[in-house]
Amino acid sequence: MSAPELKFEEFTATSPSLGAMTRKNNFPTMIFQGQLENHTEFNENIRKLVYAEQKKASTSKPANDIEIMEWRSAKNLHRNSKFAAVRDHLEAALASISSELHYSKDHRLKISSMWANISPSGSGAAAECRPGNLWSGCYCVRVPKGTGSMKFIDPRTINVMNPAKFEKDDKPRDCFTKVTFKPSEGHFVIFPAWLYHEVETNMAKQSGPAGDYIYISFNATQVKDKRSSTAS
């Protein structure tokens, strides 16, 4: 039996406090998360590849003070065969999102840039969005204790500038203006490219590689799927 089609009515909320009214959440901000099972060997291999990239790289371009300590690889790792396994895994997740959101079957979400980050103790990544892309994300390779959370910020500035007052510790999740995700190894997050996000400071006690938070970042765009047109 096939899964039922989602109907808009299913997003309608009712509750005793609403009485005869109903609530519909429109313009949702979707953040997808997943976990790669049996990732230990997979991640260990990526970790070694990332350090090898760092060793052969001659420059890194920090964007601001806190990021001076963070190292970033070139942004073309999706074209590097050594990183093909992680790229394929992430593109499989993006294909699921395409299907979930009823995107055109003649198109697919393709990773357009992918890079590695080594974030030592004391470093983080300032808030940014990723112009020119549809979806963005990251895959957590190595997460020492003390790694900072990934924080997403409500893009509707009015909610941050002029917030409502809520009962203490009783703010509905639908009204959050900031949400954080605690990274864990094998975990990945995929979010709209326009959504501001930051990585809080890595507070790992160890210095050197033992305190390094390592993750793979990527962006994705929607492209005509040549594979589907040649197959039909």
- Residues lying near Fe ion in the complex (CB under 5 A) are found at 128
Least Å distance, CB 199 to Fe ion, is 7
Least Å distance, CB 151 to Fe ion, is 11
CA gap 85, 140 in Å, rounded: 14
Residue placing its CB nearer to Fe ion in the complex, 91 or 128: 128
Least Å distance, CB 192 to Fe ion, is 12
Least Å distance, CB 150 to Fe ion, is 9
Least Å distance, CB 4 to Fe ion, is 36
Q: What are phi and psi of 107, to 5 degrees?
A: -125, 165
CA gap 176, 133 in Å, rounded: 25
Residue placing its CB nearer to Fe ion in the complex, 107 or 128: 128
Residue placing its CB nearer to Fe ion in the complex, 128 or 200: 128
CA gap 59, 80 in Å, rounded: 18
Residue placing its CB nearer to Fe ion in the complex, 107 or 153: 153
* Closest residue to Fe ion: CB criterion: 128
Least Å distance, CB 218 to Fe ion, is 10
Q: What are phi and psi of 135, to 5 degrees?
A: -125, 155
CA gap 112, 135 in Å, rounded: 10
Structural tokens at position 221: 């765009």
CA gap 147, 214 in Å, rounded: 10
Residue placing its CB nearer to Fe ion in the complex, 128 or 154: 128
Residue placing its CB nearer to Fe ion in the complex, 139 or 225: 139
For the beta carbon of residue 72, count every other beta carbon within 10 angstroms. Answer: 20
CA gap 138, 166 in Å, rounded: 32
Cross-strand bridge partners of residue 223: 108
Least Å distance, CB 56 to Fe ion, is 23
The b/e string for 133-165 (b: 16+ C-beta within 10 A; e otherwise) is: bbbbbbbbbbbbeebbebbbbbeeeeeeeeeee
Residue placing its CB nearer to Fe ion in the complex, 83 or 191: 191
